[in-house]
Amino acid sequence: MGSKAIQGELWGQQPKNWAGIQEQTGRAGYDYVLDFLNIETGNKLLDVGCGSGLFSSLASAAGAEVTAIDASERLIDEAKRRTNTVDFLIGEMEELPFDHGTFDFVCGFNSFQYAANVKNALEEAGRVLKKQGKIVVMIWGNKEDCEAASYLKAVGSLLPPPPPGAPGPFALSENHLLENTLEESGFKILHSTDINSVWDYPDKDTALKGLISAGPIAKAIQNSGFEKVYDAVSKAVDPYEKENGHVVYHNKFRIVIAEK
């Protein structure tokens, strides 16, 4: 059993706020990857944990034949509203419904760290890659490089006690765990870098809507109620509110690209 049952419910709680606000915070990573890969027309690309489809739509516009899969039916609904040039599916990243050697690229943006078993998910990605195909994984950088970690920390006491080994946003970020797990899964690391990602919300209300739409916050709301969580996130946001009313976080994403 993979992560679909749990993560699909959590990430689908506020799909419109995720699609309209929060998914944009990954744009720096999406643009970096598309520039690095230099996609050619007709390349087959799989987007694992595609969310509401922003990267998928960009990759399709760059010429790729894109298939995208996510655990959340409600996020997939939003993705289908975004573009009709991508084949969007609901499914489990640890049981991909594709033949061996189907894709030139498999990409996962802030998704693989939520797998019930990360190594299984990466090996499954490798199974559906063509020989010498490339896997792209984007995760958070180290906690100390991510100001947005402060709002996740603020709701920590409102979350239920995690089961042993439970994944989280920074599960693969420390001690080169992602790179090591990719190598253990049969990949050769080609490129690893941290890129800057500035989250600039026009006002506090927009920031709160975006931040609260993330899966970990949905779990806190289930456990402690919306009002407690909203209050905790609101207080955590205050130090990042600027004189012009914008809320700005400076973060880093880690992008690792490897070859089968």
Q: 83 Cβ partners below 8 Å, 6+ apart?
A: 53, 56, 57, 60
Q: Are 249 and 237 within 8 A, CB to CB? A: no
Q: Which of 64, 59, 55 is nearest to 24 (CA)?
A: 55
Q: Which CATH number fits domain 4-146+164-200+252-259: 2.30.30.830, 3.40.50.150, 1.10.10.10, 3.30.310.160?
A: 3.40.50.150
In this predicted structure, what is the pLDDT of residue 8? Answer: 47
Q: Give CA separation, 80 vs 13, 92, 161, 176, in Å.
A: 17, 18, 35, 35
Encode pLDDT of 183-225 as tens digits.
Answer: 999 999 999 999 999 999 999 999 999 999 987 888 888 889 9
- pTM of the shown model: 0.92
In this predicted structure, what is the pLDDT of residue 162? Answer: 65
Reply yes or no on whether the pLDDT at 33 is more than 60.
yes
- What value does the mean pLDDT take over residues 152-161? 88
Give percent of the chain above pLDDT 90: 80
Encode pLDDT of 89-119 as tens digits.
Answer: 999 999 999 999 999 999 999 999 988 899 9
- What value does the mean pLDDT take over residues 124-130? 97
Q: Phi first, then psi: what are they for 258, rounded to 5°?
A: -135, 165
Burial letters 162-199, b for 16+ CB under 10 A, else e: eeeeebebbbbbeeeebbebbeebebeeeeeeebebeb
**In the chain, domain spans:** 4-146+164-200+252-259
